[in-house]
Structure 1
Amino acid sequence: MKLAEAEDLMEKAVEATQRNFNTIRTGRANASLLDRIMVDYYGSETPLKSIAGISTPDATTLLIQPFDPNSMGMIEKAITMSDIGLTPNNDGQVIRLNIPPLTSDRRQELVKQAGKLAEEGKVSIRNVRRDAIDTVRKQEKNHDISEDESRDLQDQIQKLTDQYTEQIEELLEAKEKDITTL
């Protein structure tokens, strides 16, 4: 594993963490809340955003307009079964999701959830570090690189790890601030 590969994988871990943070609701309507919702659309799991248009007419409402009116019940069921904690209102044409204001207890739960997602991101970065250092050590053992080169590469890998872990910490701080701000 080259240094550039390790850096690319760490960058992807940060991006995945950011996408996961976007699915945590903060009291304001945001279409990315529905990113993880999969609908059983005629026997196959399909992302909600592939079968419906999602808009935010105001700060507390999500509006879901199915492309196929026959999928309304399937979408409603998928939202009800999901972990977002919102109840869909179906008027026959569109599905509305009203985002209630968050209680302080719910905000604390969401902060904990964000912390878990951040930790998952850090774990994936540390896994990349472990794999990269193992590769460097094997190269040293096979005499492909010198001991000094090995030490330098391992130091560079650790610096990358620290850099990307810090990025996740910054994302977590921003998300916590977003969640706790009224």
Structure 2
Amino acid sequence: MDDVFKDCKQRMQKALDTLKKDFSKLRTGRASTTLVEDIVVDYYNTPTPLNQLASISIPDSRTITIQPWDRNSFSDVEKAIMKSDLGLNPINDGKVIRISIPPLTEERRKDLVKVAKKNTEDAKIAIRNVRRDENETLKKRKNEKSITEDDQHKGQEKIQELTDSFTAKADELLADKEKEIMEI
């Protein structure tokens, strides 16, 4: 039984970790390396994440600088940033690529909140899928007679408690992110 709960907890935590990673990519008006590090650049016809091609830094709260290690990749990096759905305009001075993060409009903030809510709902769906899988595992074990029916019911109750706990954590993350996005 303990291994079922341990597996359940780990898988639900992975869903929350994915949600946190998705949230880190949502632009809140402040510069962050996570905004651009996973942008895929077509580097010599090979899709490569930006953080493997260049050093990314934040000189101030509204600027991201990208310094590709290969001088020939500047235009590829620029194109990849422009193609991304971030709505950022890179400025190439030949030595570094600068991205200025503009302040968010009210409409853009509301769009970002919608995206955050969708990400949260996806995480909750993943958590509920874990619950379903683990309940199935308990049912199989009961049918194999390795646990009793009482153990199965207790296990399902504990799994439901874990589900409720992780769902509440996802809602807390959403509330924090929503507050951060709407902050002017």
Identify the TM-score tier after normalising by the shorter chain. Answer: over 0.9
5+ residue gaps, structure 1: none
* Correspondence 1:8-87 to 2 at 5 A: 8-87=10-89
1:99-114 to structure 2, matched below 5 A, reads 99-114=101-116
Distance (whole Å) between structure 2 residues aligned to residue 124 and residue 45 of structure 1: 28
Q: What residue number does 1:168 align with? A: 170
**Does the CA contact (< 8 Å) of 1:23 and 1:36 recur in 2?**
no
Q: Report the identity percentage.
A: 47
Q: What residue number does 1:151 align with? A: 153
Q: Kindly indicate whether the alpha-carbon contact (under 8 Å) linking 1:118 and 1:172 is maintained by their aligned counterparts in 2.
A: yes
Bigger CA drift: 119-128 or 36-45?
36-45
The separation in 1 between residues aligned to 2:69 and 2:53, in whole angstroms, is 6
Letter in 1 for 2:183: T
**Any conservation in 2 of the 1:140–1:147 contact (CA below 8 Å)?**
yes
CA contact (8 A) 2:37 2:56 kept: no
Aligned length, in residue pairs: 182
Q: CA deviation at 1:150?
A: 0.2
RMSD: 1.0
Report the Cα offset of residue 14 of structure 1.
0.4
Q: CA deviation at 1:38?
A: 1.1
Q: Which residue of 2 aligns with 1:94?
A: 96
SS in 1 for 2:27: coil
SS in 2 for 1:27: coil
State the SS of the aligned residue for 1:77: helix
Confirm or deny that 1:139 pairs with 2:153: no
Separation in 1, partners of 2:26, 2:115: 8
